[in-house]
Structure 1
Amino acid sequence: MTGREADGTEVGRMLTAGRPFRGRELDELKEFLAGAGLRYEEGIEYSVCLKEGGVITGTGSVEANVIKCVAVEKSRQGQGIMAQIISELIQYLYEKERTHVFVYTRPENLEIFADMGFYAVYAAEGILLLENREKGFDSYLKQLEEETPKEALPQPAAGGDAGKKAAPLSRIGSVAVNCCPFTLGHRYLLEEALRQCDYLHLFLLSDNRGIFSARERYEMLQRGTEDLDRLILHETSGYMISAATFPTYFFKDRAQGESANCRLDLELFGARIAPRLGIAVRFVGTEPFCRITRAYNEEMKRILPGYGIRVVETKRKALNGRPVSASEVRKRIAQGDVEGVKKMVPEKVYRYLKEKMGEAVRL
C-alpha cells in the first residue's frame, strides 16, 4: 500500500471505495461477482474493491448493518485479502455507529467468518446467519423476556427443572409487521388477533429501505396501538427482517434464495424465539399485492406447524372494496393526497406524519 487519498480511499495495491460504485466501476464489480457465483444486490450503499494491476482481486459490500457480496479471486485466497476487506467494511460501519453487524452467507463459509470474529446465529438449508457479538442472540432473547409481563411467559416445566420451559401457552400469539407506515389494515389485523389471544407479541421487522426509518416506524406503531391492552411490542434488532429485503446474492436462482431466507427466518422464529416466549399462534394478513410476502406466508403455513405453532390468516381490511396497504399509503403520500392518507391510517399516525415529516412527505 502507498497510503490513502483525501477521501480515505487506499491507493497502491489499490483499495477503492464506492458509495456505491456506478458506471464502469459498477459493471466491473458485477462481472467479478458473477465470476464468483454471486450477484450484486440493489440496496447496497457502500463497496470496497481491492485491485492489482487494475484488476479486481477481492470485494465486499454493505447495506445497513449487513455485510454482503464478499468475494476473493481464487488465486489470491489465503493471502489476507478477505480480512482486509472485512476490516474496511467494519470500519465504515463503526464510523456510521452501526456496531452490531450481520452476515448472510453459505453454511460452508462459517469457518472463514468465524476466524474474523463472527458467530453463528442460526443455519438453515443453504443459508447461514452470523453476527459479530458472541452472545448477541442470547442477549436478544433475554431482552424479549424482560419486555414481556411475567404472567405471559411460559413457566418452568414440571419436575423442578428450571432449565426447561413448559409447552407454549395456547393463547399466546404473535404478529410480525413492517409498518411503512402503520395503517388501519395493520390495526385491524392486531385487533382480530387480540380477540383470539390472552397476549399478543408484536415484532417490528428490521428494514431501512423504505421512506421511514426503523425509529419512525416504531414511533408510529407505538402511537397507533397505545390503547390496545395485552399487546407486547418488540423491536427485532436485525434478527427478523422484511421478506422483501432478504439477501439472495449467493444463490444463482433468486427465487431459491428467497425460499432459503424464508426458511432461515421462520426456523429461527420457531426453534428459538417462539419457545422462549410461549408463542403458540402466528397471525398474518392475506397478501394480494406482493409476490415475495405471499410466498413467505405460504412457507410460514408449511414450516411453523412443525414447531407446534398454528398459523392463522386473516383477510385484509378493505376500503371501498380495495385492501388497505402500506404501499398505497406511500403512493398517496408521494402524491400529496392528504384525504387519501387520512382514510387509511389511524388518526394518531396521521398526526405524526403531519407533525414529524411535514414537507418531507408533502402532507
Structure 2
Amino acid sequence: MELTNSYLEEGFPFRGRKRKKMEEFLEKNGLTYDAEIVYSVLLCRKDGEIIGCGSRHENILKCIAVDASYQGEGLLPRIVTQLVKQAYSCGISHLFLFTKPEYQVIFGDMGFYPITGTDSMLLLENRKDGISLYLEEELARCPVVQGKEAGAIVMNANPFTFGHRYLTEKAAKACALLHVFVLSADASEFPADVRLRLVKEGCQDLKNVIVHGSSEYLISHATFPDYFLKDKAGASDKAAELDLKIFGDYFRKAFHITKRFVGEEPFSPVTRAYNEQMKQTLPAYGIEVVEIPRKTSGDTVISATLVREKFLAGDMEAVRPLVPDTTYHYLVSDAGTALRKQLLERQS
C-alpha cells in the first residue's frame, strides 16, 4: 500500500482512548503493551489511524510495530530514530531493544547489535560488543578469577539477610571460587548501591567470594522484565530463557562458572518459576544448578520480605536476629531511617 501523508505523535506515556488504540494495534501485531512504559511514539495516517508505534521503558526500546500494509515503506527507522533521539535528550545513550528474530537485519542497519535470542525473542543493544567489553572490565578488576572453575549466585539482596549469608557460605564451601552478582537494576525498595555495599560488607570475611554488580546484562529490565513485576502469577518462560542464555553464553565463559547456587523459593512465584527454568536451561551449558534449603530463625524462614516488613513497622528488635551486623547498622543509621521514611511515604 502506498504511504500517504503521516505524522508522529508523542505520549509520556499515552493515556485513555489513545493508549487503548495503541494496545489494540499492538495486539493485532502479536505484541502486548507494557504498563511500565514511560514514553511512546505513534506514527499515524492523516486520518489518525495508527500505522506504526514504538515505546521506551528506561533504556529499553520495546513494543515496536508497523502495520503489515506499510512494511517496506521506511516507517520503522522513522519510529526508532525518534525513540533514540528522545532517549538521548533524557541523557540515555546505552539502549537495548526487544524484537522478533526476523527483524535482526533491519535493526542491524540502524546500529543495533544482537546479544542473544530465542526462537521468538531477540535482544539487541546499540554498542558493538557491549557485553564483551563489560566482562573484560570485570575480569581486569579481579584478575585472580582467570583460569579457575567457579560457582555463582545472582541475588537481589533487598536487603542482605542471614538467609543470603547462609546461601553464600554454603556455596563458598562447595567451590574454589564464588562470584556473587548483585542485581544492578534500581527497581527495589533498597537502592542498588546500598544493596551492593551491604552484600560486600556482609561477605568481606569470605576470602574466596568476589562480589560484583550484575550490570544490565543479568536479570535487568532489559534481559528479564518479568522479574520486576511482582504481581504476576508466574514468569515468562521465554524471557527467563533469554536471561539464562546470556548467563550461559557470556558469564559462564568469562568466569569459568560450572555451578550456580539458588535458595529454595517458597514465596515469590516469579523467582520460583525462574529457578525451575534455570534447572532446564543451564545444564546444557555444563552448569550444575544447586538448590539450597532456606535458613530459618526458629520456625521462621528468613526472607528479605520479612525483614522489610519488620523494618517498615519500626520493629528493629524483630529485625535484629534476621540480618548481619553490617545490614542492621545500616538500617538503624540516619541513612536507613531516611530510607524508611521515604518508603512509608511512598506506600501512603
- TM-score, normalised on structure 1? 0.82
How far is 1:223 from its partner?
2.8
- Distance (whole Å) between structure 2 residues aligned to residue 319 and residue 21 of structure 1: 47
Deviations 1:309-356 (A, max 9, x none): 222111111234232222333334444443344443323223334332
Retained in 1: the 8 A contact 2:223–2:239? no
Retained in 1: the 8 A contact 2:177–2:209? yes
- CA RMSD between the two structures: 2.7
Moved more, 263-272 or 342-351: 342-351
Q: Which runs of 5+ in 2 are unaligned?
A: 227-231
Query: Which residue of structure 2 lines up, in the alignment, with residue 70 of structure 1?
Result: 64
Matched, 1:25 2:25: no
Query: Which residue of structure 2 lines up, in the alignment, with residue 326 of structure 1?
Result: 304
- Distance (whole Å) between structure 1 residues aligned to residue 319 and residue 77 of structure 2: 48
Paired residue secondary structure (1:280) = strand
Retained in 2: the 8 A contact 1:243–1:296? no
Query: Which residue of structure 2 lines up, in the alignment, with residue 158 of structure 1?
Result: none
Query: Which residue of structure 2 lines up, in the alignment, with residue 222 of structure 1?
Result: 200
Matches for 1:90-101 after TM superposition, within 5 Å: 90-101=84-95
Matched, 1:39 2:17: no
How far is 1:99 from its partner?
1.9
Matches for 1:95-114 after TM superposition, within 5 Å: 95-114=89-108
Matched, 1:192 2:170: yes
Moved more, 218-227 or 109-118: 218-227
Matches for 1:114-153 after TM superposition, within 5 Å: 114-150=108-144, 152-153=145-146
- Distance (whole Å) between structure 1 residues aligned to residue 44 and residue 320 of structure 2: 53
Retained in 1: the 8 A contact 2:185–2:221? no
After superposition, the Cα gap between the structure-2 partners of 1:101 and 1:243, relative to the gap in structure 1 and judged at 3 Å, is: closer
Deviations 1:81-114 (A, max 9, x none): 3222222222232233332211222211211211
After superposition, the Cα gap between the structure-2 partners of 1:298 and 1:22, relative to the gap in structure 1 and judged at 3 Å, is: same
Deviations 1:245-301 (A, max 9, x none): 8247xxxxx999811222222222223221222211111100111122112212222
Aligned with residue 61 of structure 1, among 50, 55, 60: 55
Aligned with residue 202 of structure 1, among 147, 172, 180: 180
Q: Percent of pairs identical after alignment?
A: 41
Retained in 2: the 8 A contact 1:178–1:207? no
- Distance (whole Å) between structure 1 residues aligned to residue 178 and residue 107 of structure 2: 37
Moved more, 306-315 or 325-334: 325-334
- TM-score, normalised on structure 2? 0.85
Q: How many residue pairs are counted as aligned between the two chains? A: 331
- Distance (whole Å) between structure 2 residues aligned to residue 110 and residue 257 of structure 1: 25
Matches for 1:250-265 after TM superposition, within 5 Å: 258-265=236-243
- Distance (whole Å) between structure 1 residues aligned to residue 235 and residue 340 of structure 2: 34
After superposition, the Cα gap between the structure-2 partners of 1:317 and 1:127, relative to the gap in structure 1 and judged at 3 Å, is: same
Paired residue secondary structure (2:181) = strand
After superposition, the Cα gap between the structure-2 partners of 1:127 and 1:199, relative to the gap in structure 1 and judged at 3 Å, is: same
How far is 1:173 from its partner?
0.9
Q: Which amino acid aligns with 1:224?
A: G
